[in-house]
Chain A
Amino acid sequence: MRLGCCIGERSESEMVSSEALLTAVVFLPTVWALITAFFEPKATEAIRYFGLFGTALTFLLTLVLLGAYDPAADAKTMQDGMQMYFSHPWIPNWSVNYAMGVDGISLPLVLLTGLISFLAMLASWSIEKHVKGYVILFLLLETGMLGVFLSLDFLLFYIFWEVMLLPMYFLIGIWGGPKREYAAIKFFIYTLFGGVLMLIAMLMLYFNSGNSFDLLHLAAIGQGKVPEFVFGPTFQILAFLLLFIGFAIKLPAFPFHTWLPDAHVEAPTPISMILAGVLLKMGGYGILRIAFPILPYGAQYCAYGIVALGVFSIIYGAFAALAQTDFKRLVAYSSVSHMGYVLLGMGVWKIGEQADQSIYYWQMGVNAAMFQMIAHGISSAGMFFMVGVLYDRVHHRDLNKFGGIAGLMPQYTGIAAGIFFAGLGLPGLCGFIGEIFSVLSAWQFDKLLAIIAAAGVILTAGYILWTIQRVYFGPAYKGEHAEAIVPANSRELLIGYTLLGFAILLGVMPQLLFNLMDPSISLLVNNMDSAYRALPDVAAKAAETALVP
């Protein structure tokens, strides 16, 4: 079933079926959550299996989405590169639409969400408290995440963005560790703050585009394709900064990252997996889906800042990770470091005299950034799970008290080493491709920043190997609850092997992912480039007719 062929040829039934598919992907977890509400609260095992079944079904639906997606379809004939696009008036008075669609940028993230949600639910067997409430909130969270990745209306996007916040708040605040209230409120306020900035930018765009929330329409305006409206340079820079800060908080980039270690340390293991595996990706996705295409001039204006921030986050996160003694905090800081590569890859947009060459390096950088998001989704979810497996046994995370785990849990240690090596950027595992490709694309942008980013490989190796040495190697376990350390059970091994398998698959055959993403990214990059070059003309023309906002 190839849904995304030419839009002109698409029949009504195809439109309906694609709409049904996307809606089902997003709202299946919600329906599941509603049904879960009728369960007897004491039937915990039944609720867990039911929730697991729901996430598995959602994951299968995302796979159907993958099957229906055709990366080779000619991007130009489609709705701005979108496949399975549909749009219905939702609140006509404010011209809000129920609009969704999928392209090479959102599809990998949707798949990642499906996968990580399923695995995180599988990892939720250690949750004992209020299982019913937990599963319901978890499923609502999944709807929020999928909605963010699929919606193509700014208000809809914003609603999903905020909707996802509440379940997360409760999941950290109720099922978290000792300082859970602090962490939950910190997470909540940080994200809400970002949401407010996004709201301002959204309204700026809304009122300067003849009242439109349609992301594709806004992008067309931003790229100078709609003669009636123009986003002028100053406007673009301002709106871009607002959006960028909003998304950078989520990413998180220095200096907006301090919610992350706290949230991770306090969140229960499966929620940490979701948080690191999916939620952080929303920041990167938002930049690519909203900030970049709508505000190409702003993006180009801020490119150096984006890259510099990314590079600084890489180094800063790595240094901070070196200093940690809490296992989970270390992994959290490694996330800050790894997400720096995402910013680095995205931002390497250099407008040079010989732009014909450097745009391909930028295209490579954006591809690498997307790849790094997926790779980090797998490796960091894996790392948090590995920490969680240990925590479930010994109930502490003090790195200095570990040791000798390799002898006690050999198979688990093997998987953990593989996943940590993926984080270290070892070739053959997913982390390598994202990191190296984004660094390789950076030299043409700025030599100094590229060199600093490359230095990250030393620090990363330092903190990861040191961690492995402290936790897994050595003669004996030094902490308390030594008797509780038993080899990993089959459920834990299943999760570990799945993540490791994906890490290896993506590391050895990255082209699977690149082929999926590149047509859309190429379209985005070229659109932005030509829009940036055309902007002075468009703005001048618009100034004559006095339409510049």
Chain B
Amino acid sequence: MGETLRNLLTLAWLLPLVGFLVEIYALCWTHRLSKAPAYLAVGCISAGFVCSAAALLTWGAQTQWAALKDTHHGGDHSAADHADSHATAEGEPSVEQDHPADAASVLPAADGEVHAAVTNGHAAHEEPSASVPTQFGGTYYTLGTFGPLAISLDWYIDSLTLVMFTMVTFIATCIHVFAIGYMHDELTEDYVDHEVHLPDHSHFHRPGRFHRFFAFLSLFCFSMLGLVLAGNIFQVFIFWELVGICSYLLIGFYVERQSASTAANKAFIMNRVGDFGFLIGLMIIWTSLGTFRFYDVPATHSADGHTSKQEVGLFHLIRGDAGDLQVSKDGSSVYLQDGHGGLMKAGDEFRTIPYWLLVAAGLGVFAGCIGKSAQFPLQTWLPDAMEGPTPVSALVHSATMVAAGVYLAGRFYPVFTPEVLLTIAYIGCITLFIGASIALVVTDIKRVLAYSTISQLGYMMLAIGLGGWAAGLFHLVTHAFFKSLMFLSSGSVIAGCHHVQDMERMGGLRRKMPLTAAAMLVGVIAISGLAIPGLKPFGEPIAFSGYHSKDAIVATALAYIKLNSVHGLLFIIPLITAGITAFYMFRLWFLTFSGAPRDAHVYEHAHENPAVMVGPLFVLSILAATCAIGGESGPLFKLLAFSEPVPAGAASGALAPVQIALPTHEQVHAVHDAAGSMALLAAIIGAGLAYALYCRKLLNPADISRQLSGLNDFLLDKWRFDDAYDYLFVRPMRIVGQWCQGFDRHVLDKILNGSASTMVTVSAWDRWFDEKFVDGLVNLVGQVAHSAGRSLRGVQTGQLRQYVMWIAVGVVVLFAALFTALPK
């Protein structure tokens, strides 16, 4: 079965890549006005959806839909046992903390004992799915092998992978179809971009880029699916970067607009800041654990007698089947496990990883998630990313890519220590509040949705941090549906209003575009989490998807603070923010669709969009309403929960400032109704306030913002993060860059040029010495000889008679000398 699933998903994954390669060269095989590239892209991604759905069905059929039968918190006895064991384990945190330490310290002495105990846990966990495997992993090919170290491209398929694949391909298909209509004005030889400001105040003209848009969308789909399919954390990083660059290309689609290219740069660089942390996490994992792989590779015995050793994946290295961390007694290090309940050995020593390194690795990987999922403090890129065309915002910057951070946090959950989980929870909590608070004041319809996305991603992170793994990913899927629906609706509004995005200029549009208004209303109700109170015909309230998923998160939070009362804020803030969410979402709807038109010109020209755009809205509305049907006993939640790693919080951290206990499914279920009521109450209050302010006009919102002008400005300035980063990082970077440049110019080159000119000076001295002294001596000899000759020249008169006189005188003198000097 693994082969079938792999082939199906690989096909779904690679089809968009083929699509990209063909579409980017569309001008070579078709003309600029052709819609063929779009059809090709839609064909690729919808074929991908078919493959994914087929894979999901195959998986379900092969496992006899064990996932749907297995209820983690219902009457099923095995699950109840499962939950019970955790309840006892976590009821007394202090005991729980000591337990693994004891086990570890005992292990070297009595290995067999512990081994047996854990094997039991193993069997209990496997029981529901009997002997049919539910997770599959394998290797495509190896990128590099260095001795025992190998980095490869792997695939890993479990129910989470399948749900994500189906969700991504489905939403992408809808958005591709929508984009055919939305990007229609690119189908021209002469596109006039009114947003570009040329120096001579004329409009900018360029050929349309319809095909390129679809090529980039296809490339994005390829990257996103690769990320989901990845079987090791390094491969996740590869596709992590690739979705980043696709996001860059799509945000900067209107490359002529300064704001667009700047936003694209900002998005990529902010993501890289997160990836810096991710990279550190990877380094720690690689060095301490020696593998990136998620799954275990069993030992193989090939026909020629060659036996390969079992390779334990990351998850089983860190945690046993019962989700236990084997912390050493002093809490300083964690023993690595061998996947069978025993501990890894290297020679005679147990292999360990220092506890703080494990925490750092978790934080590092989560830093990547912070960047990608626009969490505090790296959230500022997401609103700017709205510079891209609206289908991009819908697909990349709300439904799929930004959710990849949450997906990774979920996927990597077993490696996170309690400290990391607490960090995740608080980051999520801060983010969801910041996002919601800014969404209260912005008036750009897409930016409201962007901030709402940030806020909702915060909810997902919060859920994962609180141990509500399934709740977080549940919200990821439901959010993907209703947020893509809302973005597409806003895109429909923008297209209908001829690229007006400011809600202040809208109003009353439901009369012009009723279908869009209805679709948006579905999304607004879904995200607000409204339900009909008290009515539970099928054991669950009648509500759209967002209610169920948000309910699950709030319930987890409530159960969590019951166990850890010091972290009360982790429940209160999400609850309040649930009300704020309802308020700003209804504000958006009322401002846009209800009341009287505020800008007659916009209203006059507004029109409903063609079927190619409204169709996807319709499909997505249905799914946004119903995808979570049945709530936490519905199929979607159960499918996701089936892949839930055994509770990561089973062992409390040695470094945690306070002891943390994660709630079990039982405990969450116990407070579910109470939490649901509170969340619903908050949502109703929020929605009601919005109705009162923006529809009934009981109070003038402008007056309120004038009263609170300081706060209003602060929020409008997005909590001043951008300014702070500009001062703290961007400018110092440039300055350091200038220093380096200056150092090169003024120090290194000065030294070099200085030494060169010193050389020249020294050689000048040398020349002087040579000329004055060495040459001087030689010249002196010459000169002396010369002047001697010159002075003797006068004697040489040429007068014969004079010479004779000299001879005579000479003779006389000689004689005289002879006779006086010589002795007789």
Hey, which bits of chain A sit against chain B, CB under 8 A? 186, 189, 255, 257-258, 261, 316, 319-324, 354, 357, 359-361, 363-364, 367, 404, 406-407, 414, 421, 426-428, 432-433, 436-437, 439-440, 442-444, 450-451, 454-455, 457-459, 461-462, 465-466, 469, 472-476, 509-511, 514, 518, 522
> Is the pair B237, A462 in contact by a Cβ cutoff of 8 Å?
no
- Chain B residues lying within 8 Å of A406, measured Cβ to Cβ, are 255
Contact A457 B268 (CB under 8 A): no
List, in ascending order, chain A residues with CB within 8 A of B141's CB.
509, 511
Bound Cα distance from A436 to B240, whole angstroms: 14
B276 with A357: CB separation less than 8 A: no
Give the docked Cα–Cα distance between A404 and B245 (Å): 20
Contact B283 A440 (CB under 8 A): yes
Would you list 14 pairs from A and B whose C-beta atoms are within 8 A, ordered by A residue? A258-B752, A319-B733, A319-B739, A322-B733, A360-B148, A427-B241, A428-B238, A432-B238, A437-B151, A450-B280, A457-B272, A466-B265, A475-B257, A511-B142
Give the CA-CA distance A475 to B259 in the complex, in Å.
Answer: 11
Asked if B255 contacts A361 (CB within 8 A), the reply is no
Q: What residue in chain A is nearest B258 (Cβ atoms)?
A: A474
Q: Are A354 and B346 in contact (CB under 8 A)?
A: yes
Residues of chain B having any CB pair with chain A under 8 Å: 24, 141-149, 151, 196-199, 204, 206, 237-239, 241-242, 245, 248, 252, 255-258, 261-262, 264-265, 268-269, 272-273, 275-276, 279-280, 282-284, 286-287, 290, 346, 733-734, 736-741, 744, 748-749, 752, 756
Minimal beta-carbon separation of A377 from chain B (angstroms): 18
State the Cβ distance, A425 to closest chain B Cβ, in Å. Answer: 8
Q: Is the CB of A364 within 8 A of B146?
A: yes
Complex Cα spacing A459 to B729, Å: 11
Which residues of chain B come closer than 8 Å to A509, judged between CB atoms? 141
| A170 CA to B149 CA, complexed, in Å | 47
Contact of A440 among B24, B257, B282, B756 (CB under 8 A): B282
By the criterion CB–CB under 8 Å, are B287 and A361 in contact? yes
Q: Which residues of B contact A476 (CB under 8 A)?
A: 198-199, 204
Indicate if the CB atoms of B734 and A322 lie closer than 8 Å: yes
- Contacts known (A319-B736, A454-B283, A473-B255); A428 close to B242, Cβ less than 8 A: yes
Q: Are A475 and B204 in contact (CB under 8 A)?
A: yes
- Interface majority SS on A: helix, strand, loop or mixed? helix
5 closest Cβ pairs, A-B complex: A322-B737, A323-B741, A443-B283, A323-B737, A360-B147
- The chain B residue with its CB closest to the CB of A458 is B272
A454 & B279 in contact (Cβ 8 Å cutoff): yes
A261 and B740 CA atoms in complex are apart in Å by 13
A357, A359, A414, A442, most chain B CB atoms within 10 A: A357
The complex places the Cα of A437 from the Cα of B238 at a distance, in Å, of 12
Q: Is the Cβ of B276 less than 8 Å from the Cβ of A360? A: no
- A321: nearest chain-B partner, CB-CB: B737
Give me 18 other A-B pairs in contact (C-beta within 8 A), A324-B741, A436-B237, A475-B257 excluded. Answer: A189-B756, A258-B744, A258-B748, A319-B739, A320-B737, A323-B740, A360-B149, A361-B149, A364-B149, A404-B256, A421-B245, A426-B241, A427-B239, A427-B241, A428-B242, A462-B269, A469-B261, A473-B261
A432 to chain B, nearest CB (A): 7
Interface pair B198/A510, CB less than 8 Å apart = no
Q: Cα distance A509–B140 when bound, in Å? A: 11
Number of A-B contacts defined by CB within 8 Å: 155
| Residues of A with C-beta under 8 A to B256 | 404, 407, 473-475
Instruction: Kindly list chain B residues whose C-beta atoms are within 8 Å of the C-beta of A474.
Output: 255-256, 258, 261
Which chain B residues border A360 with CB–CB below 8 Å? 146-149
Q: A316-B740, A323-B734 are in contact. Are A454 and B198 (CB under 8 A)?
A: no
Tell whether, in the assembled complex, residue A475 and residue B196 are in contact, meaning their CB atoms are under 8 Å apart. Answer: yes
Which residue of chain A lies nearest to B196 when distances are taken between CB atoms in the complex?
A475
Closest Cβ–Cβ distance, residue B18 to chain A (whole Å): 14
Min C-beta distance of A358 to chain B, whole Å: 9
Q: In whole angstroms, how far apart are the Cα atoms of A360 and B276 in the complex?
A: 24
Q: With CB as the reference atom, state the residue of chain A lying closest to B349.
A: A354
How far apart are A420's CB and chain B's nearest CB, in angstroms?
A: 11
Asked whether, in the complex, the Cβ of A455 is within 8 Å of the Cβ of B237, the reply is no
Report the separation of the CA atoms of residues A440 and B273 in the bound assembly, to the nearest whole angstrom.
17
Q: Do B749 and A459 have beta carbons less than 8 Å apart?
A: no
Would B273 and A458 count as touching, CB distance under 8 A? yes
Alpha-carbon distance between A454 and B242 when the two chains are bound, in angstroms: 18
Inter-subunit contact B206/A407 (CB<8 Å) = yes
Cβ of A421 to closest chain B Cβ, rounded Å? 7
- The minimal Cβ–Cβ distance linking B821 to chain A, given in whole angstroms, is 68
Least CB distance from B149 to A in Å reads 5
Residues of A within 8 Å of B749, CB to CB, are: 258
A413 to chain B, nearest CB (A): 9
Q: Which of A455, A461, A514 contacts B268 (CB 8 A)?
A: A461
Q: Select which of A321, A357, A428, A510 is within 8 A of B144 by beta carbon.
A: A510
Residues of A near B262 (CB, < 8 A) are: 469
A451 to B262, CA, bound (A): 27
